[in-house]
Structure 1
Amino acid sequence: MGILLPIPTSKERERAVDVFSSLLEKSGSGIHTLTAHAEGMGGRVVEQFHFAQDPSALISCEEMLLPFVQILAVGVAGASGGMILRTWGHQDTVRAWAFQDGSFMPLTKGELMHSFRYNSETGEVEDLPGNTEYLDAPAL
Structure 2
Amino acid sequence: MAAPDPATTSQRLDDQLCFSLYAASRAVTQLYRPLLEPLGITYPQYLVLLVLWERGAVPVGELGTALRLDYGTLSPLLKRLEAAGLVERTRRPDDERSVLIALTEAGDALRTRAAAVPVAIGDAMALPAGEHERLLEVLAGLTERVAARAAELAAR
Tell me the TM-score normalized by structure 2.
0.23
Which one has more relative contact order, counting CA pairs under 8 Å at least 6 apart? 1
- More helix as a share of residues: 2
**Structure (1 or 2) with the larger CA radius of gyration:** 2
- More strand as a share of residues: 1
